[in-house]
Structure 1
């Protein structure tokens, strides 16, 4: 579905090393009408963003090759990576996430939760804020 079409809700890239977390995020977001891209490797972020141009990126904080905050440092090297907001998606304590956002330059955070309504609501808020 194209960005200009009336039914378009948004394209979201979810990056997480956990296949379970990716599966849950994909099912939840697709059920809410979003186009979802997933990757279990943060190293693929530049290629995916360049090709797909997601409206929002949800990035896990704890990953084996690169932590989320390290990935954010790399995004500063590529102009095209700065067009999509990158939101940390983690089960870390809220205070730790706030500190990580401030330190890393992430747009914000969404706590991993089993509450799909709250998750979708937060995603919608991020998308609204990026569209003006």
Structure 2
């Protein structure tokens, strides 16, 4: 397997920013930055304002960076719409089955020393590794 455009310092900075943002939301507002819980709460919780602002930030910041030319838009022409839709559906089903997504469990849950989140993250990672191995996508 060949890693293309490996940028460990940028990845480290990005991870630190995500962790700092999750910590800031937890300390300042007492909220957990798990994306699936935030999005689900838009339709069911009374505190919609911060949830909508959070999701808008997730969408608008990359859009601004793509529009400014600071980041290249990923090329997806080699992947069929069917595969993208199926992948999205499977991620959604997995999120419901796992009572949260990778960001919620992997970043926020493990950061709060949750055993459930540790187990969920290990299962996510094992399933991803198994999928790549079985489908031969790692070569």
Where is the helix percentage greater, Structure 1 or Structure 2? 2
TM-score by length of 2: 0.26
TM-score by length of 1: 0.27
Larger Rg: 2
Structure of greater relative contact order (alpha carbons < 8 Å, 6+ residues apart):
2
Where is the strand percentage greater, Structure 1 or Structure 2? 1
